[in-house]
A = this chain, B = another copy of it.
Amino acid sequence: MVRLASQKSVSARNEGVAECAVLVEKMLKEIGATTKVLKLDGAAPLVFGEVRSKKPGRTLLFYNHYDVQPEEPLELWKSPPFKPEIRDGVIYGRGVSDDKGELVARLKVVEAFLKADGDIPCNVKFCFEGEEEVGSGHLGDYISKYPELFEADAVIWEYGTVDSAGTPTVTLGVKGMIYVELTLKSLSQDAHSSLAAILPSAPWRMVRLLNILKDEDERILVPGWYDGVTNLAEDELSVLNAMPFDGDGYRKNYAAEKFTGGMEDDLAKKALVQRPTGNIAGIWAGYTGPGSKTVLPKEIHVKMDFRLVPEQDPEELLKKLRKYLDDNGFADVEIKRESMEPAARTSYRDPFAQAAIVAAEKTYGRKPVVELGSPGTGPLYLFTRRYGMPSVDIGVSATDGGIHAPNENLKLENLRKGMIWIAETVEIFATQAPA
């Protein structure tokens, strides 16, 4: 753990990434795994590992990443980010929670099984990528090139969290996303704004476009956008209602008087799981400096991310968006696709989800929080969609672990308990019949 966190691996600057891959492979070998370091052109190495059980049976895949966020701002760190230091039972360093602590915990669980029993309850595979913090741009390529390597019956995703009261969270998926840049050009060059009396304006046309894209109730107006989207079932709503939600915390943190549309907390909680969004992440045109410049801008750009729920197919939606713009006089507007990922969600009813939930109860002596789906997005679908495997997020981090921030940390007690949680989950999983 200290060894791994001491090895810088900042993917955003490609600092130490290759060296870290070498170290990760070494650590896999040390626990007795067979390894393969995959390397595509222009990509960080993907370190693959495998430990086979002596008994025939199911296979569990662990997904983690060995790259970390940049360490800046340096001056806010109490100890050097790449010299992990333990103070009062807490280890501090970049990546100790996200994701090196999680990665090491899983290696240690497998090692412990092997040491204690000379075997493990099921086959285990490790997929350790080096580009998660920069968008996992090549993970799909690796999987497409080596599809058989990643075959498994279930995947334990990147991390799990334990809150400050010691309650663990099982997260069961992520939303999908379409990220596009819209470009609307009306003139071949900027014009003096006195000509606004006669020349068409790209910004005003974009206002019209955006105005027909979403209504005031936050509903996306592209025909068919919500096709197949379901409401949460009764039992899912019960799970949702049992999840704590700090509405006041959100509102205070962002000084937002109310949630969008005046939603109450229970609706907001549901929206985070099951509401497709259409967000304007960036917009720009014309003169954006101090003071005034009288210009009629030739073009305008809008960056948008649409978050998707599992019932939505991003390829289909992008076609519908294109058609909607075409049908409404915006055929000339360019839609540049920046990224596209379907959602991935495992039902809480799935035996693998239940395994993680039961294991949490056993380990922590209390019911875990079950998060039906995270409002965020990730490449989880690459595993769940292709292989049809269920996934859970469980692990050793804490909600207050300073992820992506200075003084990132991991409580050793959380590490210890999280490892037990993973081990318990592995044991239950190994005994379950295939779905």
Bitwise, A193-231 to B at CB < 8 A (1) or not (0) is: 111111111011001101100101000000000000000
Given contacts A187-B256, A204-B280, A292-B339, 6 further A-B contacts (CB under 8 A): A196-B307, A199-B250, A199-B259, A208-B211, A283-B284, A294-B305
Residue of B whose beta carbon sits closest to that of A262: B200
| A197 near B271: Cβ-Cβ < 8 Å | yes
A375 interface residue, CB < 8 Å from B? yes
Docked Cα-Cα span, A276 to B175, in Å, equals 47
Docked Cα-Cα span, A82 to B280, in Å, equals 49
Take A197-B275, A197-B375, A254-B191 as given contacts and tell me if A283 and B175 are in contact as well, using a CB distance cutoff of 8 Å. no
Residue of B whose beta carbon sits closest to that of A207: B210
Point out the residues of chain B lying under 8 angstroms from A277, CB to CB: 193-194, 196-197
Point out the residues of chain B lying under 8 angstroms from A255, CB to CB: 187-188
Point out the residues of chain B lying under 8 angstroms from A186, CB to CB: 256
3 cross-chain pairs, A with B, having the tightest CB-CB distances, nearest first:
A188-B255, A203-B280, A196-B279
| B193 near A279: Cβ-Cβ < 8 Å | yes
Point out the residues of chain B lying under 8 angstroms from A254, CB to CB: 187-189, 191, 195, 199, 298
Q: Do most interface residues of chain A lie in helix, strand or loop, or is the interface mixed?
A: mixed
Instruction: Select A280's contact among B260, B275, B286, B377, beta carbons within 8 Å.
Output: B286
Contacting B at CB under 8 A, from A249-304, are: 250, 253-256, 258-260, 263, 268, 271-272, 275, 277-288, 291-298, 300-301, 303
Task: List the interface of chain A (C-beta within 8 A of B).
Answer: 175, 177, 179, 181, 186-189, 191-201, 203-204, 207-208, 210-211, 214, 216, 250, 253-256, 258-260, 263, 268, 271-272, 275, 277-288, 291-298, 300-301, 303, 305, 307, 338-339, 374-377
Instruction: Select A281's contact among B200, B258, B287, B375, beta carbons within 8 Å.
Output: B287
Point out the residues of chain B lying under 8 angstroms from A293, CB to CB: 281-282, 303
Point out the residues of chain B lying under 8 angstroms from A300, CB to CB: 283
Name the distance in Å between A295's Cβ and chain B's nearest Cβ: 5
Take A198-B259, A307-B194 as given contacts and tell me if A285 and B294 are in contact as well, using a CB distance cutoff of 8 Å. no
- CB pairs A–B below 8 angstroms (29 shown): A177-B294, A187-B254, A188-B253, A188-B254, A193-B281, A194-B374, A194-B375, A196-B279, A197-B277, A198-B272, A199-B254, A199-B256, A199-B259, A200-B260, A201-B279, A204-B210, A207-B211, A254-B298, A279-B296, A280-B297, A281-B292, A281-B294, A282-B297, A283-B285, A283-B288, A283-B300, A288-B303, A292-B303, A292-B339
